Structure 1
Amino acid sequence: MSIAHLRKDYQLASLSENEVAADPFTQFSAWFEQAMKAEVPELNAMSLSTVNAEGKPSSRIVLIKDFDQRGFTWFTNYDSRKGRELESNPHAALLFFWSALERQVRIEGRIEKISLQENDTYFHSRPVGSRQSALASAQSQEIANRAELELKLAKVIEQFGEQPPRPEHWGGYRLVPEMLEFWQGRSSRLHDRIVYRKQDNGEWKIIRLQP
């Protein structure tokens, strides 16, 4: 079978603008909980898309670590490629794809850094190996080989042991959403697309988009 003929007809569920929650965070929380109950693999994995100062986009998978009425939070190296791009253009897009439920959620908005206290609290809750790696790796920078990377890690372990401090260049970002789209796969590609758009008065407008 050729790639062009790979397809699946989605039939698990439907989504109506009359059924979704008035608040997009409530709707996201409901879908996220359903994905947990369905034991969707890597349900906390999301695609993060950024754009650099020249207008060139890039995407990668990161893990969501928190969400509430303020927005959606993840952690990374501020000096990484995504960190540099967010510094020059503090807007981004997130995408969750839960194939087992035939669902995806698209989120767009502005970016802000979270507080130092929040950074410290989460950093020190991480496994020690992850904390050590955060110090050892200059994320997105070139390195000669794996051996050199492992040598850097060994030096961090020798210096700090199991109590590595949070590096200043490591912390969290929060995407403050301006748009959320909930997509439910339907038969014959006539998918349901329900969008929440933030209005100037702070309220959310719910609309349906054609597939």
Structure 2
Amino acid sequence: MALHSASVSSKLIFAPAGKEDHGQAEQFTRGALTRSDLDQASPIRQFHIWFEAAQRSGLVAHPETCCLATASLPSGRVSSRMVYLKELDPQGFVIYSNFGTSKKAQDLCTNPWASLTFWWEDLERQVRVEGRASRLTREESQKYFDTRVRGSRIGAWSSRQSQVLKPIRGDTGAEEDDGRKVLDAWVEETEKRFEGEQDIPVPDFWGGLRIIPESMEFWQGRQSRLHDRFVYNKKASADETVQEWALERLSP
């Protein structure tokens, strides 16, 4: 008897392989990972090594792209979105966003735990980061905010991130647009507010979020899905300034 009794034709997607509707998935054959390849003391340093390799490879268009996942309590519902890593320091990973009205802000208010996942397909590498998140100071956020193009700074002030944009209706009650005009009006208001100004202050509701890792996994694809996986788990320490890590290989 076949393992899958349901007809393949009843499925909208079944075992896709790249551009093919159906087929055998490609094998991972571009590398291997052993304990000796890794920085034994610091997953932050190890991430920096892999990140620089991704940048230099010419194969990864945006190695800073990652998936940020958060979860609200008490429901436990998880939400995720693609973001850009903007800073890495000895403490952890920093992204910037709206923390006033966004879904991530709502989640983090109830649950400080978050995760990041980086996927560098052409290198067949993945990095997973799990830890607690905390906001950067206004001064730290302003330093990054000043590097953004003016339009992005105006946009940060204008957007009530994740709020519903209701369509504008005409005299007959018919929808004149799909809600975009509301956003455009907010942008126009902000442009008038900062007209002629180049030094735009960072909004109170916008800024940096640092994920301070408690665990980090480095994944290298291998043939037959027998991947190499190593995880760093932070050891408990009475001295918060000392970071010690346990490094272990995981079964794929």
TM-score range, shorter chain: over 0.9
Give matches, 1:87-102, under 5 Å.
Answer: 87-102=109-124
Structure 1 runs (4+) deviating above 3 angstroms are none
Percent identity over paired residues? 40
1:41 to 2:61 alignment? yes
Q: Which has the higher contact order (CA 8 A, sep 6+)?
A: 1
Q: 1:91 deviation in Å?
A: 0.4
Among 152, 172, 175, which residue is 2:186 paired with? 152
Distance 1:71 1:123 in 2: 19
Is 1:179 aligned to 2:220, yes or no? Answer: no
Q: Which moved more, 1:161-170 or 1:187-196?
A: 161-170
Equivalences for 1:77-88 in 2 at 5 Å? 77-79=98-100, 80-88=102-110
Does 2:31 align with 1:9?
no
Listed as ranges, the matches of 1:47-58 within 5 Å are: 47-53=67-73, 54-58=75-79
**Larger-Rg structure:** 2
**Matches for 1:19-168 after TM superposition, within 5 Å:** 19-22=37-40, 23-39=42-58, 40-53=60-73, 54-79=75-100, 80-144=102-166, 145-161=179-195, 162-163=197-198, 164-168=200-204
Deviation string, structure 1 residues 176-201 (Cα, Å, up to 9, x no partner): 00000000000110100011010113
Q: For residues 129-188 of structure 1, give each alpha carbon's deviation from its aligned partner in whole angstroms, at most 9, with x where no partner exists.
A: 000000110001111211111111011111212533321100111000000000000011
SS at match of 1:205: strand
- When normalised by structure 2's length, the TM-score is 0.81
Counterpart CA distance in 2 for 1:169 and 1:188 is: 47
Given that residues 138 and 204 in structure 2 are in contact (C-alpha distance below 8 angstroms), is that contact kept between their aligned partners in structure 1? no
Residue 5 of structure 1 deviates from its aligned partner by: 5.1
The equivalent residue for 2:5 is none
Partner residue, 1:206: 247
| Candidates 146, 159, 170, aligned match of 2:206 | 170
Q: Which residue of 1 is the match for residue 240 of structure 2? A: none
- Measured against aligned partners, the alpha-carbon deviations of 1:2-37 in whole angstroms (never above 9, x if no partner) come to 631521100101000122111111110110001001
- The code of the aligned residue for 1:152 comes to W
Q: 2:235·2:246 contact (CA, 8 Å) conserved in 1?
A: yes
SS of residue in 2 equivalent to 1:3? coil
Contact 2:70 2:78 in 1 (8 A): yes
1:5 and 1:55 map into 2 onto residues whose CA distance is: 31
Aligned to 1:28, what secondary structure does the other structure show?
helix
- How many residues are paired up? 211
Tell me the distance in 1 between the aligned counterparts of 2:108 and 2:124: 30
How far off its partner does 1:38 sit? Answer: 1.3
Q: 1:152 aligns to what SS in structure 2?
A: helix
User: What residue ranges of structure 1 are gaps of 5+ in the alignment?
Assistant: none
Contact 2:95 2:208 in 1 (8 A): yes
Supply the distance in 2 between the matched residues of 1:151 and 1:38 (Cα, whole angstroms). Answer: 43
Question: What secondary structure sits across from 2:160 in the alignment?
Answer: coil
Could you state the TM-score of these two structures normalised by the residue count of structure 1?
0.96
